[in-house]
Chains A and B, each alone.
Chain A
Amino acid sequence: MGRETIDGATVGLRLAAGGAPEGKVIHVRARRSPSGPEQNAFVFLDLAADLPRARYLAWVNLFDVEHAARRQAGRWRLCEPAQAETLEAEWRPFGWGDAAFPSVADAHVAEDADAI
């Protein structure tokens, strides 16, 4: 873990209950360091901390953002066209705490949208 430069494009937003962005789904366009995220990986950028924290997502394309928006209406929004950006973030490759996101894997096993 450590501070990394992330070079990518925002393809989706995670929205707080009030509608303000609290996180970004970023498609990594270039690997900037050996310890940073890999090219073409999808990462989630948590904006809640002073220094944004980024981690891998198992997601692979825009379908996943759309799927998340269907699962949690009003909490996810697609960004089209994607917005290129380079930013500094605390890099946590495999996540932290109890953070959980909708994944395509739970598409038909969880009838309860809150049971993610």
Chain B
Amino acid sequence: MTEPFHIHPRLPAIDGIFHLGPNVLIAGHAAHERIAEHLHDHLPHMHIRYGFEIPVQSFSGLDAAALEVAMLVKAEHRVDCNPVFVARGPGAEGVCWKIAGQDVHWVHDAEVGAKATRGWERAGRKIPEGYRFSGFRTSDLEERQVRRYSRAELQAAIGQGVRCDQHFQATWGEPRPEPIDPYEVVICLSDDASGFETFFRLPTTVALGAC
């Protein structure tokens, strides 16, 4: 029997990447200077940021798995995932988390978006009109093929537990000069093997007492 693949959402812990300060989960930015790994610095964009923890676990019964993420965003926006960051690098850059010796990247996957939609609605929740879950799975470095990690690769990368920050950037699907007003984003984390999923909400302003 496969044990659930546990991932726990957390507040982000690494400040300064992409010029985002403490407890900023959602931020609207105009086009700005080039920052490595920042996909949409040349367009009006909205940052989406959170932390997560993968605790030590056995991965019992798991041969391999791809990690999944879906985010509830406005239909006219597209979202792209940055690599997972484990530290801040030079300036506003991030240092990427590696599994099996490679930076963890993400590729769009409509099936993950549909899966998150089903999970959301299973609890009686409705998708607000004009919104949709945009889904991703872990990918190769070119972000073209889904990358599944073996149990041994996951154990080696997670060890006694890891703590990471994840950044996404939403931009207009059809580029427009208008800024994107920040809005609340719901995130779903899951994997393609164990059936685990967790939903959490990123407010535009973190509530007092949340950290």
Q: Which residue of A lies closest to B39 (CB)?
A: A60
Q: Which one of A16-24, A45-53, A81-89, A94-102 is at the interface? A: A94-102
C-alpha gap A93/B176 in the complex (Å): 9
Give the size range of B's interface with the partner. Answer: 20 to 34
Q: Knowing A39-B34, A100-B174, A108-B113 touch, does A60 contact B77 (C-beta < 8 A)?
A: no
Q: Does A104 contact B (CB under 8 A)?
A: yes
Asked whether any CB of chain B lies closer than 8 Å to the CB of A103, the reply is: yes
Find chain A residues with CB under 8 A from B95 CB: none
Q: Within the complex, what minimum Cβ distance (angstroms) separates A109 from chain B?
A: 5
Asked if A40 and B108 sit within 8 Å, CB to CB, the answer is: no
Interchain CA distance A38-B172 in the complex, whole Å: 17
Q: B177 and A94: CB pair below 8 A?
A: yes
Q: Interface residues of A, CB < 8 Å — how many? A: 29
Identify which of A100, A105, A107, A109 gathers the most chain B CB atoms within 10 Å of its CB. A105
B contact residues around A61 at 8 Å (CB): 142-144
Q: Is A106 within 8 A of B173, CB to CB?
A: yes
Q: Which one of B114, B132, B142, B172 contacts A62 once the chains associate, using CB atoms below 8 Å?
A: B142
Complexed CA–CA distance, A100 and B76 (Å) = 12
Q: Which of A31, A38, A99, A101 has the most CB of B within 10 A?
A: A38
**Which of B40-48, B61-69, B83-91 contacts the other chain?**
B40-48
Contact flags B171-185 to A (C-beta < 8 A → 1, else 0): 111111100000000
- Find the A residue at minimum CB distance from B45: A58
Seen from chain A, the residues whose Cβ lies within 8 Å of a Cβ on chain B are: 31, 37-41, 55-58, 60-63, 66-67, 93-95, 99-101, 103-109
Apart from A58-B172, A62-B143, A93-B175: 4 A-B pairs, beta carbons within 8 A:
A38-B34, A41-B42, A56-B43, A108-B132
B binding-site residues for A, Cβ under 8 Å: 34, 39-43, 73, 75-80, 107-108, 110, 113-114, 132, 134-135, 142-144, 171-177
22 A–B contact pairs at CB < 8 A? A37-B42, A38-B42, A57-B175, A61-B142, A62-B143, A63-B107, A66-B144, A93-B177, A94-B176, A95-B174, A95-B176, A99-B174, A103-B78, A103-B173, A103-B174, A105-B75, A105-B77, A105-B79, A106-B75, A106-B173, A107-B108, A107-B110
